[in-house]
Amino acid sequence: MNHADFPLSKAEFDAIYSKVPRLTVEIIIKKDNSIYLTKRAIEPCRGQWHLPGGTVGFGEPVISAVKRVAKRELGISVDSVSNKGYIEYPSHYLNGLDSPVGLVFEVESYSGQIKPNREAAGHGWFKTVPENMHADQDRFLIENNYLIEDLSSRLKDA
C-alpha cells in the first residue's frame, strides 16, 4: 500500500469520517450505450458492483482526484471529463460506515487500456443494473439514463 494513495491510517480515516462528510469522485466511462463498472474486492461494500471512485484528498483539486483515481483503479490517463451531478450515500450512514457525497464525472476522453487494479474482484460493461449493485449508485444511474433497471427479476418474484 502506497502512503501517497492512502495518507490516513484506518483509525485516522474512521475517526475523521465518523464526524464529517467525505467528498468522493465517481467515474463514468461509456462505450456503445454501456457503462464500465467494477465489483469491489475490498470494504466498504465488498462484492457490490459500483462506479470506480475514491476520496478527494485534502487540498486536492477535484479534477486531479478524478485523474488520480482513474489511473490507480483503472490504469488509464484521463484527458477530459464533464460533471454529471452528485450521489449522496445514505446507505453508508444508515449502516454505520461514513457519510460520503460523490461528485460524478463522465470521462469524455482517455488514453490507455482499462485494466482494473486489485481493488476489483470483477469488471465489465453494463446496460442494465447488475444484481448486487451499490444501492445509492443504482438510483443515480437509472435516473440519469446510464443504466436500465431490469424489471424481469422483479416479475419472477411477484
In a domain, 4, yes or no: no
In a domain, 9, yes or no: no
Arithmetic mean of pLDDT, 107-115: 98
Residue 99: CATH number of its domain = 3.90.79.10
Grouping H, G, I as helix, E, B as strand and the rest as coil, residue 152 is helix
Arithmetic mean of pLDDT, 122-143: 95
pLDDT of amino acid 13:
73
In a domain, 63, yes or no: yes
In a domain, 56, yes or no: yes
pLDDT at 82 over 90: yes
Contact yes or no for 145/35 (Cβ under 8 A): no
In whole angstroms, what is the distance from residue 25 CA to residue 72 CA?
13
Give me the number of domains the chain comprises: 1
In a domain, 8, yes or no: no
pLDDT of amino acid 20:
80
Q: Which of 72-76, 125-129, 131-135 has the lowest mean pLDDT?
A: 131-135
DSSP 135: H
- The predicted-structure confidence for 10-36, as pLDDT tens digits, reads as follows 788 777 777 788 899 999 999 999 999
pLDDT at 4 over 60: no
* Strand ranges (E), the chain: 22-28, 30-31, 34-40, 49-50, 53-55, 77-88, 100-111, 120-126
pLDDT at 52 over 90: yes
Q: Which of 30, 112, 100 is nearest to 67 (CA)?
A: 112
Arithmetic mean of pLDDT, 83-95: 89
Task: Report residue 157's pLDDT band, with 50, 70 and 90 as the boundaries.
Answer: very low
pLDDT of amino acid 1:
39
What would the grid cell of residue 16 be? 475523521
In a domain, 2, yes or no: no
Grouping H, G, I as helix, E, B as strand and the rest as coil, residue 99 is coil
In a domain, 10, yes or no: no
% of the chain residues with pLDDT over 90: 68
In a domain, 6, yes or no: no
Contact yes or no for 100/21 (Cβ under 8 A): yes
pLDDT at 7 over 80: no
Continuous segment of H or E residues that includes residue 56: none
Domain extent, residue 96, equals: 16-157
